[in-house]
């Protein structure tokens, strides 16, 4: 369960980072009042993310607590639900980052299941292509063997 929290947290961090809303990981750590080394340990998967950090991240960047904790709903709260009075989060930039990364919000379906289905579909296409290539190579071997026997 902790790794699920961490993976969702890292995903949202990467969206914020790709949107250009932060200068660096150290900048995020400072804005969340968190030690940069400890923050990096979370991003590298060596340490679990705590609820206090999730809460700070939600407040500072408008992340959806529902998504971070439960894995459902939108990645970020609606503009009018943004709790950070400083207005540090640019939703236009976040939307652009989400679109650029090609990530869609997890709704009713299990996001992991959807991802697995995409991977399976892609692998099936690769297998079909490889099968076709193997058949072509086998045909070429037969032709070469026939010529060799002549």
- Where along the chain do its domains lie? 2-101, 109-150
Q: What is the pLDDT of residues 7-65, one digit of tens each?
A: 899 999 988 888 888 888 999 999 999 999 999 999 998 999 988 999 999 988 888 88
What separation in angstroms does the CA of 140 have from each of 20, 135, 146?
A: 53, 9, 10
Which pairs count as long-range contacts for 94-99, CB under 8 Å and 24+ apart, including other chains? 94/15, 94/16, 94/19, 94/21, 94/62, 96/19, 97/15, 97/16, 97/18, 97/19, 97/20, 98/15
What is residue 35's predicted lDDT score, i.e. its pLDDT? 94
What separation in angstroms does the CA of 150 have from each of 137, 139, 146?
A: 20, 17, 7
Give me the residue label for tokens 């292509």: 129
Pick the CATH number of 2-101 from 1.10.260, 2.60.40, 2.30.30, 1.10.287: 1.10.260
> What's the mean per-residue pLDDT of the chain?
78
Whole-prediction pTM: 0.55
């Amino acid at each position: 369960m902790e790794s699920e929290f961490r993976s969702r947290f890292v995903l949202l961090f990467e969206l914020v980072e790709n949107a250009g809303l932060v200068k660096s990981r150290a900048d995020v750590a400072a804005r969340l009042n968190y030690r940069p080394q400890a923050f990096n340990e979370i991003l590298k998967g060596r340490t679990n993310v705590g609820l206090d950090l999730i809460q700070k991240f939600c407040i500072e960047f408008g992340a959806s607590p529902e998504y971070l904790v439960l894995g459902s709903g939108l990645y970020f709260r609606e503009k009018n639900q943004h709790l950070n009075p400083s207005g540090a989060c640019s939703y236009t930039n976040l939307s652009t980052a989400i679109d650029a990364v090609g990530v869609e919000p997890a709704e009713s379906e299990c996001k992991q299941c959807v991802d697995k289905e995409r991977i399976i579909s892609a692998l099936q296409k690769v297998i079909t292509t490889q099968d076709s290539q193997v058949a072509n190579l086998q045909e070429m071997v037969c032709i070469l063997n026939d010529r060799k026997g002549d």
